Amino acid sequence: MKNRNGRKRVGIFSLLVVASLVVIFLFVFVGSKNTTGQNRNNVKENVVIVKKSNIISTADLSGTVYADPRINLLSEVTGRIKKIYVKDGDSVKNGQNIMDIDLSKTLYGRSEVVTITSPIKGKVLLLNVSEGDTVFPRSMLGVIGGDNFIAKFYADELDAVNIKKGQKAVLSFEAYPDKKFDITVESVSYTVVTTQQGVKAYLVTVKIPQEEYSYMKDGLSANIKIITAEKKNVLIVPIESVGSDSSGSFVDLIDEHGNIKKTYVKTGISSDDFTEIVSGLKEGDKILETPRENIFENIGVKAPFGMFKNNGN
């Protein structure tokens, strides 16, 4: 008797859960299946009219500005930093003295000084040593940056396959929220690279226009919106109106009688807000703003009794 009562309680609880879900469904959607127009105002709030418009697909990436070229100064000897002639941010000429390294007498039997010079015209981006420091072969002494600037971004494979040299883009910076710069993509790597965070991605590079150099600093955070595709006068619907399952993409189509049918569609490119419909709908069709299946998924439950199976198309 005890087990039987337990099973009854579980059965009753399950029925209550299912009944609650059905009530929610009827409350939200009863108007959308009404053919007499009694709840027509409620339906309109959840209906989208399929229309034609232009659509732009973009890839949005985050990256960093770098001086170009960017050259690391490395020691080739063992010794002590005797004198430094520049400081961070100084402009330098090609061949200008950067620092002197006093070589160890015990190794060479005589006192000798090696002078490190700048390999290019540009700026001192970093001095990594101080006077009196001991350095060894391959020790990092500093970084010299050229007079040009580039920005580097990393794209995952889904974005990278759509990004090509010459594509138009808009560059923006966190430091200058009110400024946007029109540029083009300079290059996209053909092989995957590993970022400093250990993520595998493809390197996307753009050149900063010279007229914008006054705003630039090595290391600035940058954002780019690359136009990867653009179509004119095509069918579009809101992104949230398209659901997907194992059979493909679908919408909830409202026919002339007010009946809702799960209708599979072929999609094209997408913008931030809209998706292109290649086939399955026509201009003027009415669809639900959000597919019914998606609403139940958003609250973490399955639709009861398979109530949202395809009713047609």
Tokens of 233: 């006068």
What's the pLDDT score for residue 20? 54
What's the pLDDT score for residue 14? 52
Same domain, 223 and 235: no
What's the pLDDT score for residue 8? 46
What's the pLDDT score for residue 107? 54
- Residue 273 belongs to a domain: yes
**CATH number for the domain including 223?**
2.40.30.170
Q: What is the rounded distance in angstroms from the CA atom of residue 297 to the CA atom of residue 288?
A: 16
- 3-class secondary structure, 40: helix
pLDDT tens sequence across 155-196 = 999 999 999 999 999 999 999 999 899 999 999 999 998 887
Same domain, 256 and 226: no
Q: Are 139 and 74 in contact (CB under 8 A)?
A: yes
Same domain, 80 and 107: yes
- Residue 37 belongs to a domain: yes
Q: What percent of the chain has pLDDT over 90?
A: 69
Q: What is the rounded distance in angstroms from the CA atom of residue 119 to the CA atom of residue 93?
A: 8
Q: How confident is the model at residue 295 (pLDDT cuts 50, 70, 90)?
A: low
Number of domains in the chain: 3
Q: What percent of the chain has pLDDT over 70?
A: 77
Asked if residue 69 has a cis previous peptide bond (ω within 30° of 0), the answer is yes
Q: Are 199 and 48 in contact (CB under 8 A)?
A: no
Mean pLDDT of 9-17: 49
The per-residue pLDDT of the chain, averaged, comes to 84
Same domain, 226 and 247: no
- Residue 19 belongs to a domain: no
Q: How confident is the model at residue 46 (pLDDT cuts 50, 70, 90)?
A: confident
Contacts of 241 (CB under 8 A, 6+ apart): 48, 251, 275, 287, 288, 289, 290, 291
Q: Are 163 and 155 in contact (CB under 8 A)?
A: yes
Same domain, 62 and 189: yes
Domain C-terminal end among 205, 230, 255: 230
Q: How confident is the model at residue 287 (pLDDT cuts 50, 70, 90)?
A: very high
pLDDT tens sequence across 110-129 = 678 999 999 999 999 999 99
pLDDT tens sequence across 232-258 = 999 999 999 999 999 999 999 999 998
- 3-class secondary structure, 162: coil
Same domain, 196 and 244: no
Give 157 or 3, the one with higher predicted confidence.
157
Q: What is the rounded distance in angstroms from the CA atom of residue 125 to the CA atom of residue 247?
A: 55
Same domain, 130 and 237: no
Tokens of 188: 């996209």
**Cα-only R_g, the chain:** 32
pLDDT at 54 over 90: yes
Residue-number span of the structural domain to which 159 is assigned: 58-66+149-230
| Phi and psi angles of residue 163, each rounded to the nearest 5 degrees, phi first | -100, 130
Same domain, 254 and 297: yes
pLDDT tens sequence across 75-106 = 999 999 999 999 999 999 999 999 999 986 64
- pTM here is 0.70
| Cβ neighbour number for residue 40 with a 10 Å cutoff | 13
Beta bridge partners of 200: 194
What is the dihedral sign for C-alpha 169, 173, 176, 177? positive
What's the pLDDT score for residue 215? 87
Give 144 or 105, the one with higher predicted confidence.
144
| Phi and psi angles of residue 202, each rounded to the nearest 5 degrees, phi first | -110, 135
pLDDT at 228 over 60: yes
Q: How confident is the model at residue 310 (pLDDT cuts 50, 70, 90)?
A: very low
